[in-house]
Amino acid sequence: MSCLPEDVRTLALMLPEVGEGAHQGHPDFRVGGRVLATLWTDEARVVLRLTPERQAERIEAEPMAFEAAPGAWGARGWTSLDLDACEEETLRCGLLLAWRCTAPPGLVARYDDLALDP
């Protein structure tokens, strides 16, 4: 079953200290003042901040759901997740990875065993 934009919002806001904002007219989710995910509702996708290494792992594991963002953004790890092509578990994993890549190290350390379960 595919995921919906509402699923992104619900799951992202479950993460510690994440708030919702807007980036270039799209809803985004931030931790520590930094964007970890941007929701493109019209395109049914979310763009996640990952490291290039995590991006490569996700693309290899689920090539139908994940792809590098175009250009320099993708080279830096920004990764598009197709909501129509992913299960909820994939979305949860992607958001949690993005949170771990974006949140301040002290915050990540406090939630070392964090799992994102609704």
Share of the chain above pLDDT 70, in %: 95
Contact predicate 65/83, CB 8 Å = no
pLDDT tens figures, 1-33:
689 999 999 999 999 999 999 978 899 999 999
- Backbone torsions φ then ψ of 15, nearest 5 degrees: -75, 145
What is the pTM (predicted TM-score) of this model? 0.92
SS3 content of the chain, % helix, strand, coil (to 5): 40, 25, 30
Task: Give the model's confidence band at 57: pLDDT under 50 very low, under 70 low, under 90 confident, else very high.
Answer: very high
Contact predicate 65/86, CB 8 Å = yes
Q: Are strands 34-40 and 66-68 parallel, antiparallel or unpaired?
A: unpaired
Contact predicate 50/77, CB 8 Å = yes
Residue 118, pLDDT > 90, answer no
Residue with the bigger pLDDT between 30 and 116: it is 30
